[in-house]
Amino acid sequence: MSDQLRLGTRGSALALAQSHQVRAHLLSRFPSLEIDVVVIKTTGDKLSESPLSAIPGKGVFIKEIEEALLEKRVDFAVHSMKDLPTDQPGGLIVGAVPPREDPRDCLISRSGQTLSGLPKGSVVGTSSLRRQAQVLAAGGQVTVQNIRGNLDTRLRKVKAGEVEAVVVAHAGVKRLGRAGEITEVLSYDVMLPAPGQGCLAIEVRDEDSKTREFISVLDHASSRRAAEAERAFLAALGGGCRVPIAAYARDVGGALVLDGLVISPDGKRKAKGRLSGDFQAAARMGEDLGEKLLKEGASDILKTSDGDNGFGA
């Protein structure tokens, strides 16, 4: 008899693409497996018109999926790592982090202009306070507008002329097979990514050793360590979607290098730093950088920024 597993996922085109990619990798390793994809609608999907910063609670794109895991209605789940809160419910763990996709953000503009080349007064759409703040900090004379909806919806708004451009995750555009629409891949100097961006998190019940063994073959050690450093940085700052926090960890000559940023929604105030060290100390490095920036001004930015999302109610 073949083993059967149920994979929980959101129903957006990107979430389904990611989940089917994971499913295909597992089936290539375990041909006798049967994996059913179970679509679960989350709070973030139900409140698709509300700014993310206005939705109460954490994990708005995963809460219902985690409930399904805990209730054993699904056996594992595939999330975008950046959607996963740093404090997971008891009984659940990240069982695998596959190789990371490009963590940078990208610009898709109607006119084909780069971010620095957009005409004065152009409207740039984003659902992210982190992106909003860094677009404004880049110094262009553009207006940032909150837009929600899945990636397909946001790209349609560009084509329809509702906004001149959008800033979105490069990884998501690539996973949807729409990389040809990208106008500019934004450098890390201009746009530091969200903690965990480009990574997938495969979540599973801690007690489910059988499923954990299956998904463990997908784990990529350096991607996991990078995500651990970035998420520890986020946790040390106590941040979430309400405050613009960015981080990027990577391998540089065998060492783990972590950049972190806390920035006000208007892009005018920021605390930024870098640490490097051993991959095995990834979490400790993230905590240390968070504590360092708190002492260097991040604390004041966090206090005054929380709840002031710049998008209005």
Do 64 and 85 form a contact (C-beta atoms < 8 A)? Answer: no
pLDDT of residue 201: 97
* Beta-bridge partners for 258: 249, 275
C-alpha angle 170-175-190 in degrees, rounded to nearest 5:
5
Q: Which residues are the active-site residues?
A: 83
Domain-located, residue 69: yes
Domain-located, residue 311: no
Domain-located, residue 310: no
Q: Which helix (H) or strand (E) holds 36?
A: strand 34-39
Domain-located, residue 262: yes
- Amino acid letter, residue 69: L
Question: 81 and 214 share a domain?
Answer: yes
**Under 8 Å CB-to-CB from 69, ≥6 apart: which residues?**
8, 75, 76, 77, 92, 203, 204, 205
pLDDT of residue 139: 81
Domain-located, residue 258: yes
Q: Is 123 exposed, middle or buried (0-12, 13-18, 19+ CB in 10 A)?
A: middle
Question: 9 and 83 share a domain?
Answer: yes
Question: 64 and 205 share a domain?
Answer: yes
What CATH number is attached to the domain comprising 153?
A: 3.40.190.10
295: its two tokens: 């002492």
162: its two tokens: 């509702």
Question: 233 and 297 share a domain?
Answer: yes
299 φψ region: left (φ > 0), alpha (ψ -120 to 50), beta (else): alpha
277: its two tokens: 């060290």
Going by their DSSP bridges, the two strands 123-126 and 165-169 should be labelled as parallel
Question: 79 and 57 share a domain?
Answer: yes
Number of domains observed in the structure of the chain: 3
Domain-located, residue 190: no
Interatomic CA distance for residues 214 and 65, integer angstroms? 20
Interatomic CA distance for residues 60 and 48, integer angstroms? 11
Domain-located, residue 224: no
Do 127 and 51 form a contact (C-beta atoms < 8 A)? Answer: yes
Question: 177 and 285 share a domain?
Answer: no
Alpha-carbon Rg for the chain, nearest whole angstrom, is 19
pLDDT digits (tens, 9 = 90+) for 217-227: 999 999 999 99
Question: How crowded is the C-beta side of 162, counted as CA atoms within 13 Å?
Answer: 14
Q: Which domain holds residue 51?
A: 4-100+199-219
Question: 89 and 9 share a domain?
Answer: yes
Do 49 and 308 form a contact (C-beta atoms < 8 A)? Answer: no
What CATH number is attached to the domain comprising 265?
A: 3.30.160.40
Q: What are phi and psi of 154, to 5 degrees?
A: -65, -40
Residue 141 CA, distance from chain mean position: 27
Interatomic CA distance for residues 142 and 107, integer angstroms? 13
Q: Which helix (H) or strand (E) holds 159?
A: helix 151-159
pLDDT of residue 58: 56
268: its two tokens: 């005018």
The stretches in the chain having pLDDT less than 70 are 1-2, 44-59, 239-242, 305-313
pLDDT digits (tens, 9 = 90+) for 207-243: 999 999 999 999 999 999 999 999 999 999 986 556 7
Domain-located, residue 292: yes
Question: 91 and 208 share a domain?
Answer: yes
**Under 8 Å CB-to-CB from 57, ≥6 apart: which residues?**
43, 63
Question: 161 and 112 share a domain?
Answer: yes
